[in-house]
Amino acid sequence: MFVFNQQSGMPGVKADIISQLQKDILHMQGFRSKLTDTVPDIDLGPVNTAFPNGIFPTGAIHEFLCAAKEHAAATTGFVSALAGNLMQRGGVCIWISVARTLFPPSLQTFGIAPDRVIFIDMQRIKDALWTLEEALKCNGIAAVIAEVPEISFTQSRRLQLVVEQSKVTGFILRTSSRSANTTACVTRWKISPLPSELEEGMPGLGFPRWNVDLLKVRNGRPGTWKMEWAEGKCVVISGDAATVIIPGRQLKVG
């Protein structure tokens, strides 16, 4: 599963030791794989290969860059789809925002019952971050989504430490990416809209399509996929599935 295994004819024993060590390292870095749960909460198909252990990391903080309104809309769709998966087992979602434009009834399309989402609207970023931390501490919650313009490394580190204890999954939508500074989040995504496609000759709009760009993932391999939200599922249409790592992008993300 990991690069080391594929690379050379290493003896089996050594490979075992290495994979055990890798798991230990992941454990120390805050990744907890659910041993009792074989079915992952979020199954993104081919995208799973990008994540450590091949499982979408829940109980972690995910960061999304969305500067433009159009990107914010696409990101909201993608994040709602992820959170909708987490809420399948019941549980509520908390949506924290500074200057919210989200249209609650639309969440139903992405598998979230809008009445199970608690919206918290704040004026100041400082309050929003405090609320975010408090919400992440509460383990009765399926997911916490926060729309904030900026987050510093220290703030994100605090949040990451909180979720390592509480196992709540957090999604941070950074609406202003003037400087995409480094954060302690496990992943960094950028979702942008793609033209929808319909069968030949059909009029109108198709299912929402996104270019899902996984810019950064801790202990995993970033990549880019084209995904479509169709019939209540995220389907990967095509994409370079984590085999090609573009050095330039790595540098950019830092």
Binding site for another protein (CB under 8 A): 69-70, 72-74, 76-78, 80, 89-92, 101-110, 113-122, 127, 130-131, 134-135, 138-142, 192-196, 198, 203-206, 208-210, 229
Residue 153 Cβ, how far from another protein at the closest point, in Å? 25
Residue 135 Cβ, how far from another protein at the closest point, in Å? 6
Rounded Cα gap, residues 248 and 236, in angstroms: 24
Q: Which is nearer to another protein, 170 or 220 (CB)?
A: 170
Residue 14 Cβ, how far from another protein at the closest point, in Å? 41
Residue 123 Cβ, how far from another protein at the closest point, in Å? 9
Q: Which is nearer to another protein, 117 or 184 (CB)?
A: 117
Q: Hey, is 25 helix, strand or coil?
A: helix
Rounded Cα gap, residues 226 and 218, in angstroms: 21
Residue 163 Cβ, how far from another protein at the closest point, in Å? 15
Rounded Cα gap, residues 222 and 219, in angstroms: 10
Q: Which is nearer to another protein, 182 or 238 (CB)?
A: 238
Q: Which is nearer to another protein, 62 or 209 (CB)?
A: 209
Q: Which is nearer to another protein, 16 or 37 (CB)?
A: 37
Burial class of residue 211, CB neighbours in 10 A (0-12, 13-18, 19+) = middle
Tally of residues, the chain: 254
- What number of CA atoms fall less than 13 Å from residue 151's CA on the CB side? 34
CB–CB of 104/155 below 8 Å? no
